[in-house]
Amino acid sequence: MYVGLDLAPAELVLARRACPVHRFILGSAAALPLPTGSVGTVLSSAALQVLSPLDAVLAEVARVLAVGGTAVATMPDGGALTLGDRLRWGRLRLAVREPLRFPNDAVLRDPSDLLAGHGLALLDDTSRRFGLPLPDPAVAAGLIDSLYLPDGGQRDRDRAVAAASRWVGDSIGISVRRLVLRRVRLRE
Ligand SMILES: C[S@@+](CC[C@H](N)C(=O)[O-])C[C@H]1O[C@@H](n2cnc3c(N)ncnc32)[C@H](O)[C@@H]1O
C-alpha cells in the first residue's frame, strides 16, 4: 500500500482515478504526515525540481525513511538530449522567451553534499532519453502546458504550441534524470 501526497487537489483526483487501491492525501512534501522511520521506500515523480523549500523536503524524506530504506526521485533535465532535441527545445525557449528553468535546478546540479547532510547517500544518478510522440496538436499543447510557464503569458504559450505543432507526426526528446538514494545513519 502506498500513500501519495500532492499540494494540488487536481493531481490527487487523477492519481485516485489511476490507482484506486492506494491512499492519496493533500499536503506538503515539507511536512509529511507520517511517523519517523515508518516507510521503506519514498518515490517522487517529476517533482524534486520544484519542491520547495528543498532542504525541508529532504529532511522530511530522511525522517520518514527507515535506515536502509530507499528513495527514488525522477525529474526532467537536459542530460540525455541529442543535438536535434536541443535545437527543438531551443526553438521552444525562443517562442516562450523563457529559459525554461526550474527553481531547484542550480542546487540539484551537484546534490551529493546536500543529500549527505540529511543522511541520504546517492547510489545512482542517471539521465535517460525518452521520445515523446506528438501524434496531434493536442499532445503538442499538453507538452507546452507541462512546462510551468509563468501565468499570463498566453501569447508566448500560443507561439510555443504553434512551434511544437510543426513537429506533429514526429517526436521530441525528453531527458529524465533519476536519483536513487539510500537512508544511512548520520554520524553523531
Ligand atoms: C510536474 S508535477 C508532477 C505530478 C506527478 N507527481 C506526476 O508525476 O505526474 C509536480 C507536482 O509537484 C507538486 N508540488 C509542488 N510543490 C509541492 C510541495 N511542496 N508538496 C507537495 N507537492 C508539491 C505540484 O502540485 C505538482 O503536482
| DSSP category for residue 1 | -
pTM of the shown model: 0.91
What is the reported pLDDT for 148? Answer: 74
C-beta of residue 5 within 8 angstroms of C-beta of residue 27? yes
| Burial group, residue 32, by CB count within 10 angstroms (0-12, 13-18, 19+) | buried
Q: Which CATH number characterizes residue 147's domain?
A: 3.40.50.150
Q: In this structure, is residue 124 part of a structural domain?
A: yes
Q: Could you tell me the end-to-end alpha-carbon distance of the chain, in angstroms, rounded to an integer?
A: 33
CB count, 10 Å around CB of 5? Answer: 19
Q: In this structure, is residue 29 part of a structural domain?
A: no
Question: Looking at ligand 1, which atom is closest to the CA of residue 28?
Answer: 20
Per-residue pLDDT reduced to its tens digit, 115-135: 999 999 999 999 999 999 999
Q: In this structure, is residue 103 part of a structural domain?
A: yes
Choice among 76-80, 98-102, 113-117, 171-175 with the minimum mean pLDDT: 98-102
C-alpha cell at 57: 523536503
For residue 130, what are the contacts with CB-CB under 8 A and spacing of at least 6? 173, 174, 175, 176
Mean pLDDT comparison of 70-74, 100-104, 159-163, highest-scoring range: 70-74
The percentage of the chain sitting over the pLDDT mark of 70, rounded to a whole number, equals: 97
Structurally, the chain folds into a number of domains equal to 1
Per-residue pLDDT reduced to its tens digit, 30-42: 999 999 999 999 9
> What is the 50 CA–ligand 1 centroid distance (Å)?
7
Residue identified by cell 501524434 is: 135
| Burial group, residue 160, by CB count within 10 angstroms (0-12, 13-18, 19+) | buried
Q: Where are the beta strands (DSSP E) in 10-119?
A: 23-26, 39-45, 65-77
Find the domain containing 120 and state its range. 34-183
Q: In this structure, is residue 26 part of a structural domain?
A: no
Cα(179)–Cα(100) distance, rounded to whole angstroms? 21
Q: In this structure, is residue 22 part of a structural domain?
A: no
Mean pLDDT of 27-52: 96
Q: In this structure, is residue 25 part of a structural domain?
A: no
Phi–psi pair at 41, nearest 5 degrees: -145, 135
> What is the 146 CA–ligand 1 centroid distance (Å)?
11
C-beta of residue 95 within 8 angstroms of C-beta of residue 158? no
- For ligand 1, residues with CB inside 6 Å are 5-8, 11, 28-30, 45-47, 50-52
> What is the 188 CA–ligand 1 centroid distance (Å)?
33
Probe residue for ligand 1, chosen from 2, 7, 45, 145 as the CB with the greatest number of ligand atoms within 8 Å: 7
